[in-house]
Structure 1
Amino acid sequence: MAAQSSYNFRPALIVVDMQEDFCPPNGSLAVAEGRTITPVINELLSLPSFVAKVTTQDWHPQNHVSFASNHPPPNNRPFIDTVTIYHPDDPSLGHYETRLWPDHCVQNTPGAELIPELDASKATHNIKKGTDPRVEMYSAFVDPLGVCDSGLNSLLQDEKVSHVYVVGLAGDYCVKSTAMDAVKLLGLEGKVFVIEDGTKPVDGGEPWEESKKDMESKGVKVIGISAKEVRWLYGEGLEA
């Protein structure tokens, strides 16, 4: 990728779901080492180069369709079983399979709160997602059936965002879906970056490697914190 011009570099940062329920030691859906990525994220939040810094939160009602507890046994084992979600207005409009989870990030509970060590005060916006009990919503933009639009797409378009950097939890679910939707909805193929030092997956090892390949195939670049695309945020490698 050629040197980036400072005139058309309008990056946004999306910090996905850094919430108590996704973090050890007490999260109901804790991602291994989830808290350890906070210093990387806080460093990014401190940078003035972003035109928008967005934190997101899963904000589920208690009767959310992704909760295993809301489905009858025996096929309601969290992490193991799945459920088919149909378009709530018209099943012929589409459906998809989603994994069942423990109850997590229920609205107005301690588990739904952003972790206190996150410098959330440096964010410019907060987006709450997964608020409709009828559909799963990993992406911070929209659910797979187009039922719920968080407003994030319009926000970033209004800011004339040219590049998107995504960090947070979990890498193989909400981070992945958010990054791929940023490419799809904003038309930013090759200009959406998941910073691997700033995320952790639910399923590590080979499943995470496959998730990274999937993102790359959709136009997302998975990069490290020392990559040139991160140095752009510090003004390095930018043409005047």
Structure 2
Amino acid sequence: MRANTVLMSAGSLDAEHTMLLIVDMQNDFCKKEGALYSENSEKIIPSISRLLEVFREAGAPVGFTQDWHEPDDVEFGRWGPHCVEGSWGAEIVDELAPLEMELVFKKTRYSPFYDTDIHEHMLDLEIERAVVCGTLANVCVLHTACDMMMRGVDVVVPVEAVAALSDYDMGYALYHMGEVFTAHICSVDEIGLQ
């Protein structure tokens, strides 16, 4: 896979116009008691925590997506019940808990650009680039990256901070985001803000 590494040397991202978007790091996906628990999703918490620290220290914008479903959501026909609104499973994991001023986008489908105000917030903040991480790489992360790219936002994907259910799913997602969406595929260690 060809890694698109333009503008990805350490300290190269503009803190004012770069957002960290953490996708669906919720109890139902990341904790053993969760409805759709994946060990791979739990394993990326420390890498995302490192990114969160970098962005918070720089005063850069941070956002979270939160899968959020009514009890009879049609999506449950595919995945089974998960992230039911107001439930423990729908809450973002404690290790990555949003601060009061950070944005949380409750979404009912794979992409937060469906029926939320994320695009308006990104326009208001003049976001030119987004570091997208979380779970699952080939589902919600992939569709989020696609919708960002189609809106002219450069996407950065740190590989240690995304999770998938299988090596195939991860490889497919990273290849597709890098080759088709021209996302910058990199390491967490390469991400710095100035």
1:56 correspondence with 2:36: no
In structure 2, what residue type is equivalent to 1:212? L
The CA distance in 2 between the partners of 1:8 and 1:23, in whole Å, is 28
The CA distance in 1 between the partners of 2:34 and 2:22, in whole Å, is 18
Equivalent residue number for residue 48 of structure 2: 41
Aligned residues: 184
Q: In structure 2, do the counterparts of structure 1 residues 5 and 218 end up closer, same or farther at CA, with 3 Å as the change threshold?
A: closer
Equivalent residue number for residue 113 of structure 2: 141
Larger RCO, structure (CA 8 Å, separation 6 or more): 2
Q: Scaled by the length of structure 1, what TM-score is found?
A: 0.70
Structure number with higher helix proportion: 2
1:160 correspondence with 2:126: yes
Shift of 1:119: 3.7
Shift of 1:105: 0.2
Equivalent residue number for residue 195 of structure 1: 158
Equivalent residue number for residue 209 of structure 1: 171
Equivalent residue number for residue 21 of structure 1: 28
What's the C-alpha RMSD, in Å, of the aligned pairs?
Answer: 2.2
The CA distance in 1 between the partners of 2:47 and 2:12, in whole Å, is 25
Shift of 1:31: 2.1
Equivalent residue number for residue 101 of structure 1: 79
Q: Deviations over 1:68-107 (max 9, x none)?
A: 2xxxxxxxxxxxxxxxxxxxxxxxxxxxxxxx10210001
Larger-Rg structure: 1
The CA distance in 1 between the partners of 2:14 and 2:70, in whole Å, is 43
The CA distance in 2 between the partners of 1:114 and 1:8, in whole Å, is 24
The CA distance in 1 between the partners of 2:26 and 2:150, in whole Å, is 26
**Structure 1 gaps, min length 5:** 69-99, 131-136, 143-147, 236-240
Q: In structure 2, do the counterparts of structure 1 residues 39 and 218 end up closer, same or farther at CA, with 3 Å as the change threshold?
A: same
Structure number with higher strand proportion: 1
Classify the secondary structure of the residue corresponding to 2:123: helix
Q: Scaled by the length of structure 2, what TM-score is found?
A: 0.85
Where do 4+ consecutive residues of structure 1 move more than 6 Å?
3-8
Q: Is the 8 A contact 1:196 1:224 kept in 2?
A: yes
The CA distance in 2 between the partners of 1:221 and 1:53, in whole Å, is 19
